[in-house]
Amino acid sequence: MSQNFIYLCYDILQYLVNGLAQGSIYALVALGYTMVYGIIKLINFAHGEFYMIGAFIGLYLVSLKLPLYLVFPLAMISSGLIAVIVERLVYKPIRYAGKIPALITALGASLFFQFGGQLVIGADSKSFELPYQDKTYILGEVSVTSTQLIIMGVTFFLMLFLWWLVKHTKIGKAMRATSFNRDAAELMGINTDMIISFTFFLGASLAGAAGVLVGMYTNTVNPLMGMIPGLKAFIAAVLGGIGIIPGAVLGGLVLGVAENLVVGLWVSTYRDAVAFAILILILLFKPSGLLGRPTGEKV
C-alpha cells in the first residue's frame, strides 16, 4: 500500500474524532429540538439561544472559579428555567394558533435573545478560559484533546440520563404519553401543560450543557453563536427523524462527521453549506428522517 493512502486513512480517522466531538454537541442541542417538536410540533427556533445562554452562564461561573462539576448543573438549570419562562410567556398562548404563527413567534423569540444579548453583553466575542490544562493525547497519527474527551464523556453521560428519564420514570412515561396524544394524556389525568414546560426545561438544559462544552472547545462565546449551531442541530434532528430521540443523536453525530470530512478533504469555507445541503437532500428523499416512518396528510 502506498504511503499516501495510509496518511489519508490517518487524516480521515482524525476527522472522525473531531467530527464525533462536534457531533456530540449537535446531538445535545438536537435532542431538545426533537423533544419539543415531538410534544407540541413546534420548530423552536429559539432553541439555539438557550445554548448561547448556557455558554455565557458557563463562562461566568468558570470565571468565579467554580469547579466544572458545579458549572454544568448550574448552567443547565439556568438555561432550562429561562426556556420555561419563554414557553409560558410566549409559546403557550400561541399553541393552538397553527404551525406558522408558532414558527414566526419562535423566530421572534430567537431574534430577541440574539440582539438583546448583543445590547446587554456586547456584540464582541468573549474568550472562555479553560479551568484546566488542555492536554493532547496522540495515538499513532491521530490526536485527541482532553476537551474532546470531556465533550464526548459529558454527552454520553447526559444521554444515558435522558434515556433513563424518558424510559424508566413516571415523568418520562407522561412525556411519551403527551407526545403520542396530548388530548388523551390530558384525559388520563396528566397535567400536559406541566409536561410541556418540563420538556422545554429538559431540552434547554441539554442545550445549555452543549453551550458550556462548545465554549470550552472553541474558547470563545458571543451572542450570535447560537444561531447557526441551532439551525444545524435542527437539521440533525430532521436527519435522524424529528420527534425520535435516538434519531437526534444519530443525526447530530452524522452531521458532525460529515462536516469535518468536507472541511478536511475539500474546502473549509463550505462548512456551513454542508448542513443545509444535507437538509435539502433528506427532505427531498426521506423527509421522515433516517429512523422515521413516512406519514401522509389525512384526507
Partner 1 sequence: MSGFFDYLIPLLSNVGIFIILALGLNLINGICGQFSLGHAGFWAVGAYAAGAYGLYFAPEIPNFINLFISCLVGMITSALFGLAIGIPCLRLRGDYLAIATLGFGEIIRIVIMNTDKLGGPRGMTNIPHWTNIFWVYAWVILFIFIIVNFLKGPHGRAMISVREDEIASESMGINTFKYKTMAVVIGAAMAGVAGALFAHGQQFLHPNNFTFMWSVIILLMIILGGLGSVTGAILGAIILTILPELLRFMGTTIAEWRMVIYSLLLIALMLWRPSGILGKREINLLGLFKKGKT
Closer CB to partner 1, residue 103 or residue 130? 103
* SS3 sequence of the chain: CCHHHHHHHHHHHHHHHHHHHHHHHHHHHHHHHHHHHHHHCCCCCCHHHHHHHHHHHHHHHHHCCCCHHHHHHHHHHHHHHHHHHHHHHHHHHHCCCCHHHHHHHHHHHHHHHHHHHHHHHCCCCEECCCCCCCCEEEECCEEEEHHHHHHHHHHHHHHHHHHHHHHHCHHHHHHHHHHHCHHHHHHCCCCHHHHHHHHHHHHHHHHHHHHHHHHHHHCEECCCCCHHHHHHHHHHHHHHCCCCHHHHHHHHHHHHHHHHHHHHHCCHHHHHHHHHHHHHHHHHHCCCCCCCCCCCCCC
- Interface with partner 1 (CB under 8 A): 43, 90, 93-94, 97, 99-105, 107-112, 114-116, 119, 231, 234-235, 238, 267, 269-270, 272-273, 275-277, 279-280, 283-284, 287, 297, 299
